[in-house]
């Protein structure tokens, strides 16, 4: 189609050129106006996209269905460092990726679910949870209660999220531009820095990080110094730092470090 139009336009210009030459050999400065001609980008191919039966986000329980609810310790480790699960795409194309650690409440999950289910077109798009329903119990002492008397009762449940974890995954016969505003709107409201990423941009981020590690011109690396315990630096480093090479402090991520 496009080639046909191009051929037609080319033929036109040739004709006009020869015509101009015949009429005025001296005034052979002929301007060809190409206004109104436009080459459209190729439409993406969605032939191999299969939409699931239930394209919308599932409702997540506020409280897990346990026989005996047990109080747990704080266990801050579950939001520290990089995510070890659900850090790559499975079936979708676009996702909200956590850029730091944090706890998601049931309210957050409801906000995500309602916003996305309302704004996406279920005929072309599907959405999938990449996190579990709240499972970590948080205890609180009752209002006006004196200190002491043991640990408080379970108040609510949360979902811990680490850096690099996908929260929600979207896919289907859509481009990023169509759903980006919905996802950014959701990502802004999360209790940790979050980013909207596509499959390609996430891969690009991983590739960039790897490239930085390979092409680092600094002869002194965190790993080398920490493992060698140079000048007794291990005194101030934790096993957590040894594992992550100083890229994290607690749930926070230092961008631009290797």
Partner 1 sequence: MSATLCVKLQRNQGWLPLIQSVRHGSKAVTRHKKPVHILKQKLIAVTQYIPPARTVPPGAYPSEEKHVQEDNEFVLLLKKNLEEVFEECKMIAVVQTNACSVDDMLMLRHRLCKHSIKIRFFPNQVMRSFLSNSVYSNMAPLFIGPTVLFVSKEPKVKEMMSALRVSPQMTLLGACIDNTLLSSQGVVSYAKLPSLTVVQGELVSGLTMLTSRTAFMLQRHPAHLSALLQQYIKQQSPDDGAEATPKAEEAS
- Asked if 236 is part of the footprint of partner 1 (rule: CB under 8 A), the reply reads yes
Instruction: Calculate the dihedral angle through the C-alpha atoms of 84, 90, 94, 97, rounding to the nearest 10 degrees.
Output: -10
Looking at the Cβ atoms of 178 and 241, the one nearer to partner 1 is 241
Q: Does 39 bind partner 1 (CB under 8 A)?
A: no
C-alpha span between 83 and 130 (Å, rounded)? 12
Rounded CA-CA distance 258/244 in Å is 9
CB of 252 to partner 1, least distance (A): 6
Quote the least distance from Cβ 217 to partner 1, whole Å: 4
What is the phi-psi region of residue 195: left when phi exceeds 0, alpha when psi lies from -120 to 50, beta otherwise? beta
Residues of span 237-256 touching partner 1 by CB under 8 A? 237, 241, 246, 249-252, 254, 256
**Count of positions on this chain that bind partner 1 (CB under 8 A):** 29
What is each CA distance from 91 to 51, 168, 229, in whole angstroms? Answer: 10, 11, 44
Given 95, 233, 240, 242, the residue binding partner 1 (CB under 8 A): 233
Interface region with partner 1, contact rule CB under 8 A, candidates 5-13, 60-68, 72-80, 180-188:
72-80
Of 205 and 237, CB closest to partner 1: 237
> Measured between alpha carbons, how far is 144 from 23 in angstroms, rounded to an integer?
99
Q: Does 74 bind partner 1 (CB under 8 A)?
A: yes
Q: Do residues 78 and 166 lie in contact, with contact meaning Cβ atoms separated by under 8 Å?
A: no
SS3 197: strand
Query: Could you say whether residue 222 binds partner 1 (CB under 8 A)?
Result: yes
Q: Any idea what the Cα angle at residue 7 is, between residues 5 and 11, rounded to 5°?
A: 115
Q: Does 31 bind partner 1 (CB under 8 A)?
A: no
Does 258 participate in binding partner 1 (rule CB under 8 A)? yes
Q: Which residues here bind partner 1, judged by CB under 8 A?
A: 26-27, 74, 76, 79, 212, 215-218, 220-222, 225-226, 233, 235-237, 241, 246, 249-252, 254, 256-258
């Amino acid at each position: 189609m496009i080639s046909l139009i191009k051929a037609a336009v080319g033929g036109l210009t040739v004709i006009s050129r020869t015509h101009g030459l015949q009429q005025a050999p001296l005034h052979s400065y002929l301007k060809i106006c190409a206004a109104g001609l436009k080459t459209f980008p190729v439409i993406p191919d969605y032939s191999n996209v299969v939409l699931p039966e239930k394209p919308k986000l599932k409702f997540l329980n506020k409280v897990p269905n346990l026989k005996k609810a047990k109080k747990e310790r704080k266990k801050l480790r579950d939001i520290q460092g990089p995510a070890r699960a659900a850090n790559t795409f499975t079936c979708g194309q676009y996702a909200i990726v956590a850029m730091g650690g944090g706890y998601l409440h049931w309210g957050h999950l409801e906000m995500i679910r309602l916003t996305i289910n309302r704004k996406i077109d279920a005929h072309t798009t599907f959405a999938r949870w990449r996190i579990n329903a709240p499972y970590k119990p948080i205890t609180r002492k009752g209002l006006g209660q004196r200190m002491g008397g043991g640990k408080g009762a379970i108040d609510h449940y949360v979902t811990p999220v680490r850096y690099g974890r996908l929260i929600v995954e979207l896919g289907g016969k859509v481009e990023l531009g169509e759903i980006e505003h919905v996802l950014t709107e959701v990502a802004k409201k999360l209790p940790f820095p979050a980013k909207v990423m596509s499959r390609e941009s996430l891969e690009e981020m991983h590739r960039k990080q790897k490239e930085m590690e390979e092409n680092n011109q600094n002869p002194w690396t965190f790993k080398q110094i920490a493992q060698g315990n140079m000048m007794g630096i291990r005194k101030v480093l934790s096993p957590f730092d040894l594992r992550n090479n100083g890229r994290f402090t607690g749930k926070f991520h230092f961008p631009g470090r290797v």
